[in-house]
Amino acid sequence: NLSLCGNYSFHGFVYLFWLDCLLISCLCQDWNHTWYTPSPDFTQCFHNTVLVWLPCLYLWICAPIYLIYLRSHNQGYICMSLLNKAKTAVSLLLWIICWADVFYSFWERSHGSSVPAPVLLVSPTLLGLTMLLATFIVQYERMKGVQSSGVMLIYWLLATLCAIVTFRSKILQALDQLSTVCVWRYTTFFIYFTLLLIALFLSCLPDRPPLFSQAVKDPNPCPEHGASFLSKITFWWISRMMVIGYKRPLEEKDLWSLNLDDRSQNVVPQLVHRWNTEQDRQRETKQGPAVEESEILLTKTQQKAKEPSLFWVLCLTFGPYFLISCLYKFIQDILMFVGPEILRLLISFVNNSNAPSWHGFFYTALLFVCTCVQSLVLQRYFHVCFVTGMRLRTAIIGAVYRKALVISSAARRTSTVGEIVNLMSVDAQRFMDLITYINMIWSAPLQVVLALYFLWQNLGASVLAGVAVMILLVPVNAVIAMKTKSYQVAQMKSKDNRIKLMNEMLNGIKVLKLYAWELAFKDKVAGIRESELQVLKKAAYLGAVSTFTWVCAPFLVALSTFAVYVLVDEHNVLDAEKAFVSLALFNILRFPLNMLPMVISSMVQASVSLKRLRVFLSHEELQEDSVEHKVIAGCESLFFRIWLCVLNVCIPEGSLVAVVGHVGSGKSSLLSALLGEMDKLEGTVAIKGSVAYVPQQAWIQNSTLKGNIIFGQERKEAWYQHVVEACALQPDLEILPAGDETEIGEKGVNLSGGQKQRVSLARAVYCDRAIYLLDDPLSAVDAHVGKHIFDQVIGPQGLLKDKTRVLVTHGLSYLPQADLILVMVEGEITEMGSYQQLMATEGAFSEFLRTYAAVDQTQNNGKKHCSVYSTTITVLIYILTVGGTKGLENGSATALAELSETGHTQCLFRSVKLSVFWAYLKAIGVLLSFISLLLFITHHGLSLFSNYWLSLWTDDPVINGTQPTRMMRLGVYGALGFSQGEEVVFGFSLSMSIGGILASRYLHQSMLYDVLRSPMSFFERTPSGNLVNRFSKEIDTIDTVIPQIFKMFLGSMFNVLGACVVILIATPLVAVVIPFLGLLYFFVQRFYVASSRQLKRLESVSRSPIYTHFNETLLGTSVIRAFGEQERFICNSDQRVDHNQKAYFPSIVANRWLAIRLEFVGNCIVSFAALFAVIARESLSPGIMGLSISYALQLTTSLTWLVRMSSDMETNIVAVEKVKEYSDTEKEAEWKHEPSSLPSGWPTEGQIELRGFCLRYRHDLDLAIRNINITISGGEKVGIVGRTGAGKSSLTLGLFRIIERAEGHIFIDGVDIAQLGLHELRSRITIIPQDPVVFSGSLRMNLDPFDSYSDDEVWRALEFSHLKNFVSSLPDKLNHECSEGGENLSVGQRQLLCLARALLRKTKILVLDEATAAVDMETDNLIQSTIRSQFEDCTILTIAHRLNTIMDYTRVLVLEKGEIAEFDSPSNLISQRGAFYKMAKDAGLV
């Protein structure tokens, strides 16, 4: 007996030594008592040591790390709740029970006859201390705001499992050896066991939220934070949303708020800050000029090391959170190899008839537990990956948006809108896709090494043959990856060009229709698309070879290994254990070998995207110091250098400065310089006070009219009303359906040009700034409104009288009231002074003025106020404001974007019809689809048979230590494998890919044709962002995603069917369970798809507004910067991204929810297959059992993939539905009638007759034009005038059949135009439109897209349109590249280009729609003289704001409220003193 007194150190040492010996003896006791027995049990010693110490050891190891983590992650303070009190009480009671055992041991020592073993003292003491630690952790968690603890749950679970083993043992002991039972210890153990169960139950429940947490304030918080640990690992917390989605369609209000860590406000600044730091670090070398993004991808720059690394920045920003996924992946990889090991044990169990039955049941249970843990770990891994991907996308979109607001104009020209939108959509998506599989870079080699290790254990050195095959396949995959990269770059370049062209076509669709140019541009797009498809076709051939290597790699590895194994030594017998364990390992090997090329390919694509992003984010920014905002005594001074011309000007505070000059003289550039939009070469620009800017072409947001005017400022109702009246908007507000709450469509489609300009001016006035830069705001409004605005707003008595105003103008009547006039010629200020000074100097200005201005000064000085007539206004699009409008402030998408994106509201919720799948199969070709399917079935049949053949081989009898038929078996096995490979390459892979390309070509062509055939009303109610999204994202999905998903779906489906067939053949008893599990599987899948589909659609609907808003921002960057509203727009963009992620986040969680449940079903099938094999082991051959379980082990993965692929197929096939959607929309009349009934030279006279002509914009709207009856003889010149919205432009739209007549007829030379094809009509008459539209491409293409005219004819047209000198001075002459939207030409030059188009066509009828509004008086005069001389014998219809241009016309048509008010010669109308007389008087012409 050991005594506790005496020499303490000696006795302590002996005591510890004794404990060590005790533990070793426990573990090393007779194994027969535990394992080789029908009724297994552990020794008493094992129960008292290992099973008690194991949970304690876990908690003491975890506690320090966990406590440090809690200290640094404080989430708030949780008040003491009933749950927390219960947890604390149970922990303390457990501590008391442990100490009761300790005291009992002491009592026993002092009173009992025999001394108890020291372990009975040590174990309760250790357990008691651990319970105290548990109590402390429970309280510390509460103080740090932890609602549910995984660490504690695992501890209680571990303690309970260990106690269950002891519990069973104690029950057995009580039944068998009642005399040995210690009543006290039994009682305390059962109390302890009961309390453990209670503690385990309590740890499964979550506590209340911490005080002041976000969840308390949020009306609809994400339930993840408040969920229990079990709920988190099984993703049970999303079930409530899934139930709602199953019962009824999910709506926006059902979506949770985004977690704080996932919001743009947290994610984007981190990336931007780190990128700026990285750029600063690398800014030692001076960067060259901006380069084309596509060029930089294929060139290897010498200074590569000095470029800032975006990859490193992304790693720093998202790496720490992402590292958790690496741990999960490592655990999952290790658990993956448990399956084959258990399979080995099961096969040896079937072979060993002496093994106890419980061994089989134990292996089955172990298999079930391991596969379930593996499933839970894998889904946590995917969750971390997807959340990281989501944050990455948010960060990239935010960074690109912020960069787009500060990019310099030179760099801006190198990146088109299409390219930048692609950075946001396609490239950001590529990163998201890659994040999920990036860990395969280290995981795949680890899996391969582990698989080869176990294979070596199984088959010895023969496995080296398999390794050799794998090494040989590596360079093949490397070559394929390199080729894929070059194709990827080429495809992205074509795609960018196509999207850029589509974007321009959609922006200028009205011009395309007026000129009948649709077919020319359709062919241009088709040409780019064809080159894109050629690249895709090459990639498909590569893909087929790649698929061959993926499918054949595992088989070739298996074949070579088995062949070497049986051929090296004839006594090497391939039995079931060796074959099927090896096969299970080869199946594991298949995944990394398949994934590695895909990951490499994804990395290649992502590296291309990374370069594109880096190039864009490295672009030169606007000079921050180009404009100094500082106080200067008495004036704002400007000393600036533009176009190598030095400007020196000082503008006094509070003065009105007019800037005049010819087209292209640098007037708008002067304002850009003041705004800091141009590169400053030398000198200083100093501005005192804040700035407001009105651009030449009004920029209107897709918001309410009021929102456009207030522009994010504080609401001041009285001031707002004052501004609206001064800007002559009051009459318009009275007519708009919802007044100033009317939703304005994209680019202001439902406002006339004049209204847009007035809204733009009202925005500037409302903002109340010190300096106003006004770029020709009066050009788009008619004379009397222009005068009203000048008097009430800009002039000496207007609202801005005390402000500094710089007004660029072509209106000479306003000049006398200016304090200072700047005359600009070729970028220089040639004259400067007041009106009287300039007139007195007798310079170019006074000469020019005398020539062009017949102005009665006394009448024009504003003595008489001009009344603003209430004008009718035509609403071009249906306004989506029924029951109020939707604001954008809360980040919700506009009603306009929502309705047009989904087509129909109900489309958001219905399932995808079979007709959509049928439409896709028809696009591929029904025969090709059938052949592909047949080849697929053949391939899987061969695969199944080859494995069955292997099972027969393993069951062959062994005679004299060898299998006689092994050579025949090996030959057939090899032949079956190679025939599978051929089916793959020449069969389904190639046929599916080529079929996919055929479908892509057909669907894109039909969508392009359908969109171009749509009437103007369609474009006015469909945001261009949605259309661009269809041509980029949806077509990209059809190009690359859908064919892959079809292949994977069919593969998964046949894998599942094959596995079920094999399992049923091997163990028919499973037939009892499979129908039940099949029903469960089907229900879970349907339950999931109901919600998933709606979440995908909600995500899709909220994605378009991101790009629409971005498009809008890019068009208005100068206005946003001028008003200093960048932060508000960034915030707005962030809200839209967050709104989109609100729908995306539940969809990724729903995927995890589904995967865990489906994998559970799969794990059940595996377990039942093993269980019934154990039960029927007497009648089952090892070969068939091995085959059955190795297939069952694959089933879980196949089931999960099947649902994911079927769900992905449903969600991605929506792309086909969206593309096909436009085939059902309303279409214009036929473009051409075959055969044409028109004579070749029609119209020869140019006579126009309107009989009872009426026109309305939509069936449910009033007539916009009423009962027009006029006849215009050939060669007549007719001016059309009227107030804004009187129907002037509507009349021309009716003439070109942009809007079809409601009643009546229009005859041209006696032919009813309603009977003609649209192109036959539009190509025979010409218009010079109000908005000059220029497409990117050569000047020649802009003039003559069909190449119908010779160069001489083109030069002649340029000469008459006064552009010859300008074009001759360009380096490339006619081949000069116009940038997107013609940004490298001034507005006036663009207008002259439109005149050149008209001169080139030289038709008998010419329509001028306010064509000279944007040009100065002199250019206007040149245009008018050209028109008079070149179109002398033509019929001319002119819509005019400048009445002096039509005073010499034959007749003038005055429209009022869509009806004819007056129609006669100008002189007669003036003498009648009617409406025309008043207009002429306002313009100072009478």
Spell out the SS3 assignment of 914-971: HHHHHHHHHHHCHHHHHHHHHHHHHHHHHHHHHHHHHHHHHCCCCECCECCCHHHHHH
Say whether pLDDT at 304 is over 70: no
* H helix runs in 1176-1232, sequence order: 1182-1212, 1214-1221
Q: What is the pLDDT of residue 1130?
A: 92
Sequence-distant (6+) residues with CB within 8 A of 311 are 610
Name the token pair of 808. 């660029």
Which residues, other chains included, contact 1131 with Cβ-Cβ below 8 Å and sequence gap of 6+?
none
Element (H, E) at 765: helix 753-767
- In angstroms and rounded to an integer, the radius of gyration of the C-alpha atoms of the chain is 40
pLDDT score of 869: 28
Per-residue confidence band for 331, with pLDDT thresholds at 50, 70 and 90: very high
Per residue in 801-822, pLDDT (tens digit) is 888 888 888 777 788 888 888 8
CA distances from 75 to 71, 147, 226 (A): 10, 10, 12
For a pLDDT cut of 90, what percent of the chain falls above it? Answer: 4
Band of pLDDT at residue 883, cut at 50, 70 and 90:
very low
Contact 1058, 944 (CB under 8 A): yes
Q: What is the pLDDT of residues 1129-1142, one digit of tens each?
A: 999 999 999 999 98
How many CB atoms are closer than 10 A to CB 169?
17
Query: Closest Cα partner for 692 from 761, 596, 755?
Result: 761
Ordered DSSP codes for 93-130: HHHHHHHHHHHHHHHHHHHSSSPPPTHHHHHHHHHHHH
Tell me what pLDDT residue 2 has. Answer: 34
Residue 1021, pLDDT > 70, answer: yes
Place of tokens 């060796």: 578
Peptide bond into 1371 cis (omega under 30): no
**pLDDT-derived band at 741, boundaries 50, 70, 90:** confident
The candidate with the shortest Cα–Cα distance to 782, out of 1391, 1329, 1285, 1442, is 1442
Q: Say which amino acid occupies 867.
A: S
Q: What is the rounded CA–CA span in Å between residue 582 and residue 438? A: 27
Which residue would you say has higher pLDDT here, 663 or 1333?
Answer: 1333
The more confident residue out of 341 and 1023 is: 341
| 470 vs 597: which has the higher pLDDT | 470
Are residues 293 and 415 in contact, defined by beta-carbon separation less than 8 angstroms? yes
Instruction: Tally Cβ neighbours within 10 Å of residue 1341.
Output: 19
Provide mean pLDDT across the span 1171-1178: 82
Distances (CA, A) of 1163 to 370, 648, 1189: 9, 82, 11
Residue range 481-501, pLDDT digits in tens: 788 878 888 888 888 888 888
Alpha helices in 634-688 (DSSP H): 667-675
**How does pLDDT run across 922-941, given as a tens digit for each residue?**
888 888 888 888 888 888 88
Structure tokens at 763: 């925005």
pLDDT at 30: 52
Whether 1388 and 1419 have beta carbons less than 8 Å apart is answered as yes
- Do residues 394 and 1135 lie in contact, with contact meaning Cβ atoms separated by under 8 Å? no
Residues 97 and 186: beta-carbon distance below 8 Å: no
CB atoms within 10 A of CB 9: 7
Cβ proximity of 487 and 546 under 8 Å = no
Q: pLDDT per residue over 75-101, tens digit each?
A: 778 888 888 888 889 888 988 888 888
User: What span, in angstroms and rounded, lies between the C-alpha atoms of 248 and 1241?
Assistant: 63
Contact between residue 1125 and residue 279 where contact means Cβ atoms under 8 Å apart: no
Tokens of 1097: 């659609």
Compute CA distances 318 → 263, 395, 618, 932, whole Å.
Answer: 14, 10, 20, 42
pTM for the whole structure: 0.73
Q: Cβ neighbours of residue 777 under 8 Å, at least 6 residues apart?
A: 694, 757, 760, 761, 789, 807
- Give the number of C-alpha atoms closer than 13 A to the C-alpha of residue 1004, restricted to the C-beta side: 31
Specify the 3-state DSSP secondary structure of 867: coil
| Residue 91 token pair | 């922990």
Of residues 851 and 779, the one with the higher pLDDT is 779
Asked whether 1231 and 1015 are in contact (CB, 8 A), the reply is no
Distance CA 643, CA 650 (A): 20
In tens, the pLDDT along 1426-1476 reads: 888 888 888 888 888 777 778 888 889 888 878 888 888 888 888 888 888
Exposed e or buried b per residue across 1290-1300, where buried means at least 16 C-beta atoms within 10 angstroms of its C-beta: bbbbbbbbbbe
Taking the C-alpha atoms of residue 793 and residue 777, their distance in angstroms, rounded to an integer, is 11
